[in-house]
Structure 1
Amino acid sequence: MMTLVTNSQQTPPPRIPGYDGGPFRHQPELLNEDLFWQVHLHLGDTQGQEAGDLLSQLLGGDTWPVFTVPLAGAHHLYVVYRALEGEAGIDYLVHHPDWDAAETLAQDDGHFMGPGLSWAELTAAADNGLPGGSTTNPHARLLLLLPAFGDDAVPDNAVERLTTALRARTRIEAPERLAATILEHQGQWGPTHWSTAGSGYQINDGDYSHRNPANHFAWPTARLAQVATALTP
């Protein structure tokens, strides 16, 4: 059975301003485990005993696993396994050192929120190569951030790109077929349309997205622009 590493020599966990929870623990070694990706991507074979045990550890332990992806302009994207009893889930957060609090891009749980990323933003974050995060591997970054994505206009090469990532980081059979299925259904919110706001930043029309200015829970205009700039390819 796979167990979480608790090496005291790991990089100290981050403090995420405005986000209650923790203590946080970096778990970058999980990104090398096929079983982790089965759990993270909600694949069909995650009902097995090992996968169930891992999910229980991720969402039911004393520490909250966290992964980081640096973005442009000193922004960071955090993926946090919210190990809160009765309210467990995965949060996708973006933060800049000048902000008082991190913003929630997406929530992957029973009360989901999103999407937080277009396909272009997802691949840009995967490919930026910036150091200081949990990994610089573009395949691992793509799969890590994939559940926060939703876009009704993925390019023709999207299936090939996702297939390559699945083949590189998992032992899943028929990765091309799985990639096509993932891109067709796109998580809990389904494909969402992205457009350019009047001042030039990206927004979407998702009913559950903080990046849809028509929603009463949308971020203020200035924050919408700041986040879009940080995620710009």
Structure 2
Amino acid sequence: MSATMASHDDSLVTAAFEVEQEDCFSYFDRLTDPDAWPVFRLGLRDGHEIDVVYRNLTGDMGTEYVLCRSGGKHKLDLANVGGHEFRPGLSWSELIAAATWSSAPYGVVEPDARLLLLLPAFGDADLPADATAMLTAALTSCGAGSRAGALAEWLLEDPEDWPHWRQQGDALVCDDRYSRRNPEGPTAHSPADLLEISSALRVA
């Protein structure tokens, strides 16, 4: 996660994690190696998983968040960050529920690491009062030092520019034009797929 953030504001990342810029970008280069597309798998409670795929195409790099059944079956694009973006794919409550699910049988299982991996796919104007503190704690757990709070504040700044989420029947949808979870948007999933995504990410 820190390496991904480095492409946006490396000074905040290097200060928070107390590392040299060269070391930070060395890890970023590993994540974005066009000969090796890293994939992080996050199991969910109902047999779904979110695959975080670093799409390292020359001239079209980005991070894809794919919801699918275990083993990669029935893939649904949740979000695409960087280059032809469509997001957000997660509300705050869904982000926290997916990150903190404690029974993931494989892949990335540590809740704070899961939260940081999923964070770029989230966007929600209705943040709780303790959102920054929760993110600061996650960053600290994953190696950040005393400047973790400043990085957390930057990552969550300007929430008024983020979309709102609402229930539409049994599906949770958002009002961002470029989210695939906006039923009126140009890249919208079908009603059936929107329902499956909401069911897989539903807060218990």
Counterpart residue identity of residue 2, structure 2: Q
Q: CA deviation at 1:97?
A: 5.4
Contact preservation (8 Å) 2:68, 2:76:
yes
Gaps of 5+ in 1: 1-36
CA distance in 2, matches of 1:69, 1:172: 26
CA distance in 1, matches of 2:73, 2:134: 36
> C-alpha root-mean-square deviation of aligned residues, in Å?
2.2
Q: CA deviation at 1:99?
A: 8.5
2:181 aligns to what? 211
Deviations 1:42-81 (A, max 9, x none): 4433693333332222222422100011113211100011
TM value normalised by structure 1: 0.76
1:52 aligns to what? 25
2:5 aligns to what? 41
Match of 2:166 among 195, 214, 217: 195
Counterpart residue identity of residue 10, structure 2: G
1:103 aligns to what? 76
CA distance in 2, matches of 1:72, 1:191: 27
The alignment partner of 2:46 has SS state of helix
CA distance in 2, matches of 1:95, 1:212: 19
1:222 aligns to what? 192
CA distance in 1, matches of 2:132, 2:28: 27
2:92 aligns to what? 119
1:165/1:39 Cα in 2 relative to 1: closer, same or farther (>3 Å)?
A: same
Q: CA deviation at 1:100?
A: 5.7
1:94 aligns to what? 67
Contact preservation (8 Å) 2:31, 2:38:
yes
Deviations 1:86-116 (A, max 9, x none): 2111111101259864111111113221000
Match of 1:174 among 136, 147, 159: 147
**Deviating 4+ runs (over 4 angstroms):** 97-100
The alignment partner of 1:83 has SS state of strand
1:60/1:99 Cα in 2 relative to 1: closer, same or farther (>3 Å)?
A: closer
Contact preservation (8 Å) 1:41, 1:147:
no
Contact preservation (8 Å) 2:177, 2:186:
no
Structure holding more strand per residue: 2
Deviations 1:156-195 (A, max 9, x none): 1111111110111132442223212211246xx9511100
Report % sequence identity.
34
Q: Report which stretch shifted further, 55-64 or 39-48.
A: 39-48
Is the aligned partner of 1:158 residue 2:131? yes
The alignment partner of 1:54 has SS state of helix
Contact preservation (8 Å) 2:64, 2:77:
yes
Q: Report which stretch shifted further, 91-100 or 159-168.
A: 91-100
2:18 aligns to what? none
1:123/1:101 Cα in 2 relative to 1: closer, same or farther (>3 Å)?
A: same
Gaps of 5+ in 2: 15-20
CA distance in 2, matches of 1:230, 1:80: 19
TM value normalised by structure 2: 0.86
